[in-house]
Homo-oligomer: A and B are copies of this chain.
Amino acid sequence: MRWAEGFIAVDWGTTNRRAYRIDEKSECVASFEDDQGVLSVVPGGFPAAAQSIRERLGDGPLLMAGMVGSTRGWAEAPYVSCPASLEALAARVAWVEPGRAAIVPGLSIRHAGHADVMRGEEIQLFGALAGGLIPRTAFVCHPGTHNKWVTVSDGCIGTFRTVMTGEMFNQLRERGTLSELLGGDVTTGDAFRDGVARGLRGETLGAELFSVRARVLLGDLARSAAASFTSGLLIGADMKVGLSLAAGAEMIMLGRPELTCLYAEAAAVADHAARQVDGEAAFLAGAIALARTLP
């Protein structure tokens, strides 16, 4: 089987993509990241975009995850319903080049009043499991544009809940009443922790967010601290969702370190146990485990 001789794993998101060459010993021997996300590919342009990846990392089979499998991507890889195993995911990959290029499906939840979807995080979650980075039963937070709170049970993804914290912060930062206040860096100091504490109280976000502006205007909050406070507010409200789902379990923050550290700090404010796991390592472990499991 050609996959055993090595392959290319691609984390292909909306605005960026990262590609990794995995050799026959399951080692990552080359990689690159660029801004050729799904939205930058013209209709019908995915075969050529894939070819450009092979030109940079060498020929071989491609295993792709993320928004490349959405309706805006190369081909739709329909959602797999939770609870879902690695084997279920591997059985349902969408083959865009028979035997040579596959897209990992996303996951969906539909039950009693709750609907949710994920696409891209699932490979990191199964990688964290396959690589022994998290236990077989765990409660995981995957921060990003759309943070996911995920319940992992006996090696399967049981259920999850999305909170669009990153997107809300980016929108507030880019335009509108608060944008001029949010240009600063977000750091995990007192302002961030104060924001988390307020967010955890669960008051309507639209009211808490406007108070950021009022406090700066009235001199109660330093302008330079407004970005950290506001990030804390949103992450605190997000953490409230996490706490309601954690059932006391340790939280494992999985993803980019600059985001997992913010959620770990928010967990500390809530006096809840948490640790961080690197998302890139989990992605590679997930791609390798999936490639081995492909039908």
Residues of chain A having any CB pair with chain B under 8 Å: 79, 108-110, 114-117, 146-147, 161-165, 167-168, 171-172, 174-177, 202-207, 209-211, 213-215, 217-218, 220, 234, 237-238, 240-241
Contacts and interface: CB of A to CB of B under 8 A. Distances in A.
A214 B177 contact: no
With most chain B CB atoms within 10 A of its CB, the pick from A146, A163, A164, A240 is A164
B204 A146 contact: no
Contacts of A79: 217-218
Contacts of A206: 147, 163-165, 168, 205, 234, 237-238
Contacts of A116: 210-211, 214
24 contacts: A108-B214, A109-B214, A115-B214, A115-B220, A116-B211, A117-B218, A146-B177, A146-B210, A161-B207, A162-B210, A162-B211, A163-B204, A163-B206, A164-B207, A164-B209, A165-B206, A168-B206, A171-B171, A171-B175, A174-B175, A202-B202, A205-B237, A206-B234, A207-B241
A240 B167 contact: no
B177 A217 contact: no
Contacts of A164: 177, 206-207, 209-210
A223 to B, nearest CB: 13
A207 B242 CA distance: 11
A181 to B, nearest CB: 13
A109 to B, nearest CB: 8
B204 A237 contact: yes
A162 B215 CA distance: 12
B110 A218 contact: yes
Contacts of A115: 211, 214-215, 217-218, 220
A202 B79 CA distance: 29
A110 B220 contact: yes
A117 B241 contact: no
A220 to B, nearest CB: 5
Contact of A171 (B176, B205, B215): B176
A28 to B, nearest CB: 31
Given A110-B220, A162-B214, 10 more contacts: A79-B217, A108-B218, A115-B214, A115-B218, A115-B220, A162-B211, A171-B175, A202-B202, A202-B204, A207-B241
With most chain B CB atoms within 10 A of its CB, the pick from A161, A168, A241 is A168
A195 to B, nearest CB: 13
A38 B209 CA distance: 23
A238 B167 contact: no
